[in-house]
């Protein structure tokens, strides 16, 4: 039997699993409109998906004990991962409030999107630099981070009329989660 301990970097399980499920929900939210799914269903799939991504980034930052996240003990790395997580959660909050007719916070949406994209890029740099993640997981966050920047540009340049950018972003988040989930895990035989 294999037992996961506090030192076994549980950020891989919770952070990677959260990114995987969040990315899958975001992908469904981006693809289901093509199948005629009601907008309310895809809206809530997207909200839950981005919430899961935000929460997963906290697990990627801290793991269970605070020192076993993807950036090890790096305070700067934890800060940018938390900033990305908060930006994702605020994005979901703004969407939910807007859905109920409260649009006062919508004016900060562009700022939040930029913060999310920038924090993902800085998080990717931090994860790469610390070397806690191994193999493909070491650099995988660069892909959704760069794509998030493209998504921000797309939102304000409107060059993507078919939703290609959100679909690709969702797939990349899903792949990042899978890479973290299946990253080499230290285990203690019990």
Assigned domain for 187 exists: no
Contact 85, 91 (CB under 8 A): no
Assigned domain for 186 exists: no
Assigned domain for 189 exists: no
**Percent of the chain beyond pLDDT 90?**
24
What confidence score (pLDDT) does residue 65 get? 61
pTM across the whole model: 0.79
131-150 pLDDT tens trace: 676 666 666 777 777 777 77
Assigned domain for 188 exists: no
Assigned domain for 190 exists: no
Contacts of 17 (CB under 8 A, 6+ apart): 56, 177, 181
Assigned domain for 97 exists: yes
Assigned domain for 127 exists: yes
Assigned domain for 45 exists: yes
Number of domains within the chain: 1
Contact 25, 49 (CB under 8 A): yes
65-111 pLDDT tens trace: 656 778 877 889 899 999 999 999 999 999 999 999 888 888 888 88
The domain in which residue 54 lies consists of 2-181
């Amino acid at each position: 039997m294999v037992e996961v301990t506090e030192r076994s970097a549980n950020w891989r399980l919770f952070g990677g699993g959260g990114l995987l499920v969040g990315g899958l929900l975001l992908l469904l939210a981006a693809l289901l409109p093509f199948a005629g799914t009601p907008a309310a269903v895809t809206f809530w799939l997207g909200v839950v998906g981005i919430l899961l991504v935000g929460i997963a980034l906290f697990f990627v930052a801290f793991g269970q004990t605070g020192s076993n996240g993807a950036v090890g003990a790096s305070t700067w790395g934890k800060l940018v991962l938390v900033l990305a997580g908060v930006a994702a959660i605020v994005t979901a909050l703004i969407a939910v409030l807007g859905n109920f007719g409260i649009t006062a916070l919508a004016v900060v949406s562009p700022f939040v999107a930029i913060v999310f994209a920038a924090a993902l890029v800085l998080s990717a740099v931090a994860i790469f630099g610390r070397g806690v993640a191994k193999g493909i997981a070491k650099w995988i966050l660069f892909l959704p981070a760069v794509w998030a920047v493209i998504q921000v540009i797309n939102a304000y340049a409107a060059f993507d009329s078919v939703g290609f950018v959100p679909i690709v972003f969702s797939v990349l988040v899903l792949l990042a989660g899978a890479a973290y989930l299946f990253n080499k895990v230290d285990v203690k035989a019990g």
